[in-house]
Amino acid sequence: MSLLQSLRVFHQRRIALPVGPDDLVLDVGSGDKPSWRADVLLDRYLGAEHAAQRSGRGRARVTRPLFNADAARMPFADGVFDYAICSNLLEHVLDPAAVLRELVRVARAGYIEVPEASSAKIVDFPSHIWWCRLDETTTPPTLVLTAKDEPDFDREIAGYLRRSGTLREVEAVLNKRFEHRVIMLHWRGSVPHRVEGAVPDALVAHAMAQPGHTKDLQARLIQLVTDAVTFRAQRRLRRRRLRYDDLVLPEYRTGDGAVLERRVYSDSRWTPDAEAAQYGS
């Protein structure tokens, strides 16, 4: 895929979001490259040791208020967000149905992106634990997540690609039509979905232990162009004053009128102690 084609696909996936200038946007699983349009971020695993659960090597970027919480149990009030972005997260989580229920609870609409199963079965990331497909025989289409039982769809083929040194070449061919490698799902009101099977504990442990993978030069260039194109909009968005109590569930409100800052928000009631201790409240 040429750089121009990559930019067009990236614009479709990341820039052209159907939101107004005053809409409140949440990025769930924001990781090391949060959406330029997000007002609030949420991520469960922030440290560099969990880089395989995102696309880069480093720790999560705290470019806006970031809530350190499980996407299956968000601390936000019902319907508080106009739009929620959930990109390349569901294929990693233990309970994707719970995450989908939470997305619909806290937001009125949103965008979901997951790797498409047939492409992933050729070249997949070992940190993924679900095969994802869109069943278009239903109206609206149903997002189907099927539990993996092995890191690779076919162990022999995967071994050959690695052994022969052709893995990157095959992946490059697939990426020439990247829009077919992912499911890009815009939703409003609900997300019809079906979860099939359960992921073995051993596969979950294997996925969590994977090292991070490097972003290529083209991905870095696209990110730089995105930041340049959206610079003015980002600057305006950063001036928004959002009150903590206006976003969180009633049981987490403080009553002090505090305005959100660009830092990590952890609370022992919804963040495991280890993460809360590491990143502070």
Query: DSSP letters along 168-223, please?
Result: HHHHHHHHTTGGGTEEEEEEESB--EEEES---HHHHHHHHTPPP-PPPHHHHHHH
For residue 24, what pLDDT is reported?
97
Q: E-assigned strands of 59-173?
A: 66-68, 83-87, 109-115, 130-135, 142-147
- Measured distance CA(215)–CA(38) in Å, rounded: 22
Residue 160 parent element (H or E): helix 155-164
The model's pLDDT over 169-202, given as tens digits with 9 standing for 90+, comes to: 999 899 888 889 999 999 999 999 999 999 999 9
For residue 277, what pLDDT is reported?
41
- Measured distance CA(201)–CA(206) in Å, rounded: 9
Residue 8 parent element (H or E): helix 3-10
For residue 211, what pLDDT is reported?
77
Q: Do 261 and 245 touch, CB atoms closer than 8 A?
A: no
Residue 25 parent element (H or E): strand 25-28
Q: Do 14 and 27 touch, CB atoms closer than 8 A?
A: no
- Burial (CB count within 10 angstroms: exposed 0-12, middle 13-18, buried 19+), residue 238: exposed
Residue entry with tokens 């979950």? 204
For residue 4, what pLDDT is reported?
67
DSSP category for residue 269: T
**Low-confidence residues of the chain, pLDDT below 50?**
274, 276-281
Please report, in angstroms and rounded to a whole number, the separation of the first and last CA atoms in the chain: 43
- Measured distance CA(72)–CA(90) in Å, rounded: 10
| Strand partners for 182 | 115
Q: What is the pTM of this model?
A: 0.89
For residue 266, what pLDDT is reported?
93
For residue 16, what pLDDT is reported?
79
What token pair was written down for 80?
A: 């508080």
- Measured distance CA(158)–CA(166) in Å, rounded: 10
